[in-house]
């Protein structure tokens, strides 16, 4: 049940007592809840030696929690080791025949999303690019390239590089009108606001635990629309993709009828314990509350940055912003190090300093970053 107050949520993250942590776009902060879950895993290992039933149950509990977080059913969710593997599972399952062989990619994609599709060239895939207008990537850029030969449009919800939030409903509508699938990369968004993949009407969605979902690396989540699952068989598979992995039948490639068919080998059990604890903690606060807090912090930061004349590349329009603000900096990597010396943890991509907010951040955090940036520019 939601209702955990934000100050008590914040208190669950020891690092926030020592640092101004504004780098959730790279890695979420470690909570005592997630730490306890990791200990529960090691204790179960000590106690039972090989309690596989308990471990598989924990993975299923995680699947149910993920489904509840993204508005899907549990059988539409695959538990994967990384977003890259999840994307590759779908990329290798889609046909690229003469009638539909185009993949339309926006220039705001995370590299892995492009690489997975570029790697399908030997199977007939041809990548076409939707080009940005300045720091924005508009639905019109997709409308100019998506056509009746387009198989799939992978699209990031929030750009990892400049924090721009794409207009997903409009992009989905235009892609579907032209018969193309939409594959949402929600990694820079899930955990900062409610999400409903059914209402958004995307065909595929990938996200992972380690950023705003407050979990560790080594576990990611793939959603596949129920009506498509049975039509797709990936070219990389393993025993956990089978209808019944525990039949141990090497001579039968019987595909699971659920999204589990996109899974491979033994699931990442320690990561599943930790990821489930992260998700539970988010639900204890409530994703509506989290969204309000993240918006408040982003608004305060962008207004403060403008007032101080900091060169923000993230849009002024709040509807086009995610949880990530980016400030242009000649040498952003050096700036990250200078901020670290002041106790502020941020990150850099190219000439952009990335400042990202989760609901555990406070208005004091925002002001501390603004003050440090103003002082640094002097
Ligand atoms: C938007 C986005 N997609 C995908 C990834 C890559 O995920 P993975 O390393 O799990 O393949 C990242 C990682 O930073 C990301 O920001």
Instruction: Give pLDDT, residue 89.
Output: 98
* Residue numbers in the chain where pLDDT is lower than 70: 377-378
Report residue 349 as tokens: 């991509």
Nearest atom in ligand 1 to the alpha carbon of residue 82 is: 10
Using left for φ > 0, alpha for ψ between -120 and 50, and beta otherwise, residue 201 falls in left
Residue 113 CA, ligand 1 centroid: distance in Å = 8
Q: Which of 216, 229, 328 is nearest to 268 (CA)?
A: 216
Instruction: Give pLDDT, residue 63.
Output: 98
Instruction: Give pLDDT, residue 378.
Output: 46
User: What residues line ligand 1, using a CB cutoff of 6 Å?
Assistant: 82-84, 110, 112-113, 156, 160, 185, 187-188, 208, 220
Residue 374 CA, ligand 1 centroid: distance in Å = 31
This model's pTM is above 0.95 = yes
Q: H/E/C letters for each residue in the chain?
A: CCCCCHHHHHCCCHHHHCCEECCCCCCCCCCHHHHHHHHHHHHHHHHHCCCHHHHHHHHHHHHHHHHHHHCCCHHHEEEECCHHHHHHHHHHHCCCCCCCCEEEEECCCCHHHHHHHHCCHHHCCEEEEECCECCECCHHHHHCCCCCCEEEEEEECECCCCCEECCHHHHHHHHHHCCCEEEEECCCCCCCCCCCHHHHCCCEEEEECCCCCCCCCCCEEEEECHHHHCCCCCCCCCHHHECCHHHCCCCCCCECCCHHHHCCCCCCHHHHHHHHHHHHHHHHHCHHHHHHHHHHHHHHHHHHHHHCCCCECCCCCHHHECCEEEEECCCHHHHHHHHHHCCEECEEECCEEEEECCCCCCHHHHHHHHHHHHHHHC
Residue with the nearest Cα to atom 8 of ligand 1? Answer: 83
Residue 250 CA, ligand 1 centroid: distance in Å = 33
Q: Which of 15, 36, 35, 37 is nearest to 24 (CA)?
A: 15
Nearest atom in ligand 1 to the alpha carbon of residue 186 is: 1
Say if residue 278 is exposed, middle or buried (CB neighbours under 10 Å; 0-12, 13-18, 19+).
Answer: buried
In angstroms, what CA-CA distances link 50 with 32, 41, 54, 331, 361?
25, 11, 9, 50, 39
pLDDT tens by residue, 188-218: 999 999 999 999 999 999 999 999 999 999 9
Report residue 250 as tokens: 């090497």
Choose the residue to mutate in 114, 208, 215 for probing ligand 1, maximizing ligand atoms within 8 Å of C-beta: 208
Nearest atom in ligand 1 to the alpha carbon of residue 84 is: 11
Residue with the nearest Cα to atom 14 of ligand 1? Answer: 26
Instruction: Give pLDDT, residue 358.
Output: 98
Choose the residue to mutate in 78, 90, 114, 160 for probing ligand 1, maximizing ligand atoms within 8 Å of C-beta: 160
How close are the terminal C-alpha atoms of the chain, in Å? 47
Please give the Cα distance from 300 to 364 (Å, whole number): 10
Q: Which residues pair with 242 in a beta bridge?
A: 255
Choose the residue to mutate in 83, 113, 116, 326 for probing ligand 1, maximizing ligand atoms within 8 Å of C-beta: 83
Nearest atom in ligand 1 to the alpha carbon of residue 109 is: 1
Residue 161 CA, ligand 1 centroid: distance in Å = 12
Instruction: Give pLDDT, residue 196.
Output: 98
Residue 187 CA, ligand 1 centroid: distance in Å = 6
Please give the Cα distance from 6 to 361 (Å, whole number): 9
Please give the Cα distance from 98 to 88 (Å, whole number): 21
User: Which single residue is written with the structure tokens 């940036």?
Assistant: 373
Instruction: Give pLDDT, residue 377.
Output: 63
Instruction: Give pLDDT, residue 2.
Output: 84
Nearest atom in ligand 1 to the alpha carbon of residue 220 is: 10
Report residue 230 as tokens: 């049975």
User: Which single residue is written with the structure tokens 């000649």?
Assistant: 330
Residue 215 CA, ligand 1 centroid: distance in Å = 14
Choose the residue to mutate in 187, 219, 324, 356 for probing ligand 1, maximizing ligand atoms within 8 Å of C-beta: 187
25 contacts: CB under 8 Å, gap ≥ 6: 160, 188, 211, 212, 323, 324, 347, 354, 356
Instruction: Give pLDDT, residue 194.
Output: 98
Q: Which of 267, 207, 269 is nearest to 37 (CA)?
A: 269
How many other C-beta atoms are found inside a 10 Å radius of the C-beta of residue 71? Answer: 16
């Amino acid at each position: 049940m939601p209702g955990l107050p934000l100050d008590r949520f914040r208190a669950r993250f020891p690092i926030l007592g020592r640092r101004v942590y504004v780098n959730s776009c790279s890695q979420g902060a470690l909570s005592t809840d997630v730490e306890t879950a990791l200990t529960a895993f090691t204790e179960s290992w000590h106690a039972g030696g090989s309690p596989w039933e308990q471990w598989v149950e924990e993975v299923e509990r995680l699947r149910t929690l993920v489904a509840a977080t993204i508005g899907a059913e549990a059988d539409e969710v695959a538990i994967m080791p990384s977003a890259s593997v999840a994307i590759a599972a779908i990329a290798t399952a889609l046909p690229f025949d003469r009638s539909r062989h185009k993949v339309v990619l926006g220039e705001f994609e995370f590299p892995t999303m492009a690489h997975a599709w570029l790697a399908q060239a030997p199977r007939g895939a041809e990548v076409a690019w939707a080009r940005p207008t300045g720091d924005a990537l508009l639905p019109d850029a997709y409308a100019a390239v998506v056509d009746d030969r387009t198989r799939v449009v992978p699209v990031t919800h929030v750009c990892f590089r400049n924090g721009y939030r794409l207009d997903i409903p409009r992009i989905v509508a235009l892609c579907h009108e032209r018969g193309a699938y939409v594959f949402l990369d929600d990694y820079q968004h899930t955990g900062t606001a409610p999400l409903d993949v059914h209402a958004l009407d995307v065909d595929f969605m990938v996200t992972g635990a380690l950023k705003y979902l407050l979990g560790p690396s080594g576990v990611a989540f793939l959603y596949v629309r129920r009506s498509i699952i049975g039509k797709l068989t990936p070219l990389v598979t393993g025993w956990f993709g089978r209808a019944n992995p525990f039949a141990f039948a090497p001579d039968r490639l019987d595909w699971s009828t659920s999204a589990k068919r996109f899974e491979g080998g033994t699931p990442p059990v320690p990561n599943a314990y930790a990821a489930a604890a992260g998700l539970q903690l988010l639900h204890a606060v409530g994703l509506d509350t989290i969204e309000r807090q993240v918006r408040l912090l982003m608004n305060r930061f962008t207004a403060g940055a403008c007032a101080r004349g900091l060169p923000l590349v993230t849009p002024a329009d709040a509807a086009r912003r995610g949880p990530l603000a980016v400030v242009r900096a000649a040498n952003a990597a050096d700036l990250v190090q200078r901020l670290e010396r002041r106790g502020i943890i941020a990150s850099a991509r190219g000439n952009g300093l990335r400042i990202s907010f989760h609901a555990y951040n406070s208005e004091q955090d925002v002001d501390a970053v603004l003050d440090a940036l103003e002082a640094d520019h002097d």
